[in-house]
Chain A
């Protein structure tokens, strides 16, 4: 899903007033050296937009399937990511500092938006560590923002942290069928760890998720 697709959905989802507010704010964010407008706007968005789930048209659904899948996002979530997509990236150091600043002070829904935006940030390799930190989160919606329909982890994570993501998904009872790349990135180390996990579950007389067996077979 491209910037123009996202913009089109936002334009028809927001009131004229909200749209004017957001565009004016984004211009300020683009123009500023520091992060004052960015931090304020990022937090402020849900008060001006709306928290309903976006409604997508046919062609947008197929665009969604290819890359960024926004089909179950709320409008404020989408607006936040739209803002992030327009953040000037001519200076890498400044760019990283600005986005890191948002992560550091984020509340729960902001974290969801920030992690779901991993595929759209500039300098993709720079976010590997942040993604790994997110996998350590204990907040369900944050984990889902990284795990569900997010192409970033499969594309950029090294094997060890990819395996942590998959293991954590089983451990926290997530719907693993929503993880992009789960079968493509099968590997021996993951398979062995999952075998141990299955034995541990059985020793504790607990059920074993059937999807696990697909990843054990190589």
Chain B
């Protein structure tokens, strides 16, 4: 959600405090294979942990506006395998990431060249489960050039690829992304094609790729539509994610959709596949996912430190009572 100022409309509605009922999926484990945690708060981490999300993948993306220098990219990549991973661990959530040059910023060729030089330094870091999110935005020649180069990198490194398909001109963009992956010699089973919709899913599955769906209010998929997709196409090679970021998005998209699927009569086995297992199977091809790392999480010590920084600020309690007006 972006690019227009409809906050008045949004704020006019009645403000109701509701408590979300996720009892239907209580005890289930979820894996969110696409969520931009650097844009989210500790409240989100807490809510995700409470709702059963045990692990996530944070793809490298753009930050809402173009970066102007290489150092910003380097610092960002290093934060994905550093501070952000630590922050996540403080809530008992195992954090993985994919590393790549996003399509929008591929259009700044002078900078893109420099970024391509530093990318190899990050792809073999622990917990890097793929090259991503890469692909097309405007479908320009520069985007295609860096998409191909990064596919080559993924192939050489034996890493899965997480493909961002464009918002605009999606159908053609998705087809082109798959064609190009195959042209570069990356096998479909190593490619997760993201942000699918009703118009793209069939071809993606038919051609043997993984089909990821982003449950994101207004601009991408709603979860009622997702239920229909699973009813029609089943659960093989399909996975869902929240792609929560700095826009109006929902880090609980997966548990909410699981609850809706259960209400709609989809089997628990299918729900487990699309909300947990398939993402692990796809990205574990990197050799970097050890399921026991998040199925047997030890007690979390929120006072642990990363480079002498803790997420706890002076005297803060490890868990806050959000229903109290007292902040102590």
- Which residues of chain A have a CB within 8 Å of any CB of chain B? 104, 132-133, 135-141, 143, 160-161, 164, 167-168, 171-174, 193, 196-197, 199-200, 203-205
Q: Please, which residue of chain B has its CB at the minimum distance from the CB of A170?
A: B168
Bound-state CA distance A138–B219 (Å) is 13
Write out the residue numbers on chain B whose beta carbons fall within 8 Å of the beta carbon of A136.
66, 104, 107, 137-138
Contacts known (A104-B68, A136-B137, A196-B170); A204 close to B5, Cβ less than 8 A: no
Residue contacts A-B, CB under 8 angstroms, 22 given: A132-B107, A133-B66, A133-B107, A137-B3, A138-B2, A138-B65, A139-B2, A140-B3, A160-B138, A161-B138, A161-B140, A167-B169, A168-B168, A173-B3, A174-B4, A193-B168, A197-B168, A200-B171, A203-B198, A203-B199, A204-B221, A205-B225
- Asked if B64 is an interface residue, CB under 8 A from chain A, the answer is yes
- Which residues of chain B have a CB within 8 Å of any CB of chain A? 2-5, 64-66, 68, 104, 107-108, 137-140, 167-172, 197-199, 221-222, 225
Bound-state CA distance A133–B137 (Å) is 12
Q: Please, which residue of chain B has its CB at the minimum distance from the CB of A168?
A: B168
Write out the residue numbers on chain A whose beta carbons fall within 8 Å of the beta carbon of B108.
133
Judging by beta carbons under 8 Å apart, are A138 and B64 in contact? Answer: yes
User: Which 4 pairs show the lowest CB-CB distances between chains A and B?
Assistant: A172-B3, A203-B198, A138-B2, A167-B168
Q: Please, which residue of chain B has its CB at the minimum distance from the CB of A138?
A: B2
Judging by beta carbons under 8 Å apart, are A140 and B5 in contact? Answer: yes
**Beyond A167-B169, A193-B169, 4 extra complex contacts between A and B, CB < 8 Å:** A132-B140, A139-B3, A139-B65, A168-B3
Contacts known (A132-B107, A136-B107, A136-B137); A204 close to B198, Cβ less than 8 A: yes
Task: For residue A16, give the distance in angstroms from its CB to the closest CB of chain B.
Answer: 36
Judging by beta carbons under 8 Å apart, are B172 and A193 in contact? Answer: yes
Q: Please, which residue of chain A has its CB at the minimum distance from the CB of B3?
A: A172
Contact with A204, one of B2, B4, B140, B225 (Cβ below 8 angstroms): B225
Judging by beta carbons under 8 Å apart, are B225 and A196 in contact? Answer: no
Write out the residue numbers on chain B whose beta carbons fall within 8 Å of the beta carbon of A161.
138, 140
